[in-house]
């Protein structure tokens, strides 16, 4: 045997094996007897069993007892979850020696760490890197690339549903935006922690009628099993007077009154250049052109965002029925689910705004965001 091969995954409690045989703690104590049963020459002994004075391990080979100790150390550390001081006390060596054994095994390829995330199609390395670069709370990056738009929205929605179910706690107050990806999320969402659900964006008439903001919030609310606060009003009113009248409606006022109580929010992001936004399509063309002249890059919950992350004050502000930028920024956990190459710049703009702190996106967008 030229070296002990060890496969370990600390988080997953993987297996440690030496040349295909599992090394259990009781076998670790067998020491050199185990090696002799395998016909492995120990230090100072030839293959025929005759000791040569001053003879060490064969040239190019590690001493078998050292390999055995490496296997024991690796198992204790990676599989059993013991710390270096505990391992040192057990083996009668210093914790610095334990650290050197682990470092040497990893460097020489005798200790191999295998990380496996079954059933979730995420890229853990892009997820971690994006989280660090943008200082986000959580990031999940879908590993798939070049998916058709509807398939991508479906996959992102399913991944967002898993994350939302994990993060929600009983008695949370969840704000719900809307969009095509969140429509898929609502379909994929399992039964979640009992919490209140608050619709935070009004509806859009005659655009993507299959995607209804009230219905998305209602379906998520049914999964949560708590009280629902729905917003029976359009996102964009004809003028400020119409909006003021809607705000006096008791049901609308009650829903809006919940915005400052939110502990989490699930939101979508729309792109304005290139256009990939339901809000963009719903705004009259004359207003849209005025806003494009302002270099609007993205929308989130009815708030318009410039490329550098600045919140744009516009002539539409007094006609929008939605949570405000300040109210959204005050929510402790805002989860954005958005992807697709055309939305990469819009997502970057929203991240710069500080309105979201958790992101679910795809690998293509993630790679662009790392260089944005």
252: helix, coil or strand?
helix
Q: What is the mean pLDDT of the chain?
A: 83
Q: What is the pLDDT of residue 58?
A: 52
At a CB cut-off of 8 Å and minimum separation 6, what does 30 contact? Answer: none
CA distance 283 to 303: 13
Mean pLDDT of all residues in 13-20: 37
Mean pLDDT, to the nearest integer, of 240-264? 95
Neighbours of 251 (CB within 10 A): 12
pLDDT tens profile 185-223 = 999 999 899 999 999 999 876 444 456 778 899 999 999
Range in 10-19, 49-58, 69-78, 303-312 the model is least confident about: 10-19
Using CA atoms of 351, 355, 360, 366 in order, give the dihedral in degrees to the nearest 10.
0
Render pLDDT for 314-356 as a digit per residue (tens, 0 to 9): 989 999 999 999 999 999 999 999 999 999 999 999 999 999 9
The mean per-residue pLDDT over the stretch 233-249 comes to: 91
Q: Identify the pLDDT of residue 49.
A: 40
Rounded mean pLDDT, 53-80: 75
In the chain, what are the domains?
6-113 (1.10.10.10), 124-369 (3.40.50.1360)
Tell me what pLDDT residue 281 has. Answer: 87
Percentage with pLDDT > 70 across the chain: 80
Burial class (CB in 10 A: 0-12, 13-18, 19+), 207: middle
More confident: 60 or 47: 60
Please report which confidence band the pLDDT of residue 117 belongs to, taking 50, 70 and 90 as the band edges: low
* Bridging pattern class, strands 173-176 and 196-199: parallel
The pLDDT tens digits for 120-159 are 789 999 999 999 999 999 999 999 888 999 999 999 999 9
Looking at residue 347, its pLDDT comes to 98
Q: Is the peptide bond before 18 cis (omega within 30 degrees of 0)?
A: no
**Nearest residue to 259 (alpha-carbon basis) of 173, 359, 167:** 173
d(CA 274, CA 16): 51
pLDDT band at residue 18 using 50, 70 and 90 as cut-offs = very low
Would you say residue 20 has pLDDT above 70? no
pLDDT confidence of residue 285: 87
pLDDT at 299: 96
217-222-224 Cα angle (round to 5):
95
- Please tell me the predicted confidence (pLDDT) of residue 284: 87
Per mean pLDDT, which range of 148-152, 277-281, 355-359 is the poorest?
277-281
- Asked whether the predicted pLDDT for residue 52 surpasses 80, the reply is no
Residues in the chain: 372
Task: Using the predicted structure, report yes or no on whether residue 67 has a pLDDT greater than 70.
Answer: yes
């Amino acid at each position: 045997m030229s070296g002990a091969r060890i496969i370990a995954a600390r988080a997953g409690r993987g297996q440690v094996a030496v040349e295909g045989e599992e090394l259990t703690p009781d076998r670790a104590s067998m020491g050199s007897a185990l090696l002799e049963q395998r016909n492995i020459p120990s230090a100072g002994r030839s293959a025929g069993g005759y000791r040569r004075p001053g003879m060490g391990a064969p040239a190019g080979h590690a001493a078998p007892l050292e390999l055995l100790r490496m296997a024991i150390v690796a198992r204790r550390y990676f599989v059993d979850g013991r710390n270096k001081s505990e391992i040192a006390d057990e083996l009668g060596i210093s914790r610095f020696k334990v650290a050197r054994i682990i470092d040497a095994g990893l460097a020489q390829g005798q200790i191999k760490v295998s990380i496996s995330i079954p059933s979730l199609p995420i890229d853990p390395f892009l997820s971690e890197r994006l989280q660090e670069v943008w200082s986000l709370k959580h990031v999940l990056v879908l590993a798939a690339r070049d998916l058709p738009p509807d398939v991508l929205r479906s996959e992102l929605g399913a991944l967002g549903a898993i994350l939302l179910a994990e993060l929600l706690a009983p008695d949370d107050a969840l704000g719900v935006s809307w969009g095509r990806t969140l429509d898929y999320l609502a379909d994929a969402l399992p039964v979640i922690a009992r919490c209140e659900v608050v619709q935070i964006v009004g509806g859009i008439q005659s655009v993507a009628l299959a995607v209804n903001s009230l219905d998305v919030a209602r379906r998520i609310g049914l999964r949560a099993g708590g009280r629902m606060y729905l917003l029976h009003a359009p996102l964009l009113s004809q003028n400020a007077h119409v909006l003021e009248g809607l705000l006096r409606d008791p049901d609308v006022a009650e829903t809006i009154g919940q915005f400052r109580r939110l502990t989490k929010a699930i939101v979508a992001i729309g792109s304005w250049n290139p256009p990939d936004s339901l809000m963009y399509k719903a705004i009259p063309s004359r207003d849209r052109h005025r806003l494009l002249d302002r270099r609007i890059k993205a929308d989130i919950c009815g708030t318009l965002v410039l490329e550098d992350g600045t919140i744009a004050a516009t002539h539409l502000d007094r006609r929008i029925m939605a949570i405000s930028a300040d109210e959204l920024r005050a929510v402790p956990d805002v989860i954005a689910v958005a992807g697709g190459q055309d939305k990469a710049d819009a997502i970057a703009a929203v991240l710069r705004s500080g309105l979201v702190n958790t992101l679910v996106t795809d690998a293509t967008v993630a790679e662009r965001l790392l260089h944005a």
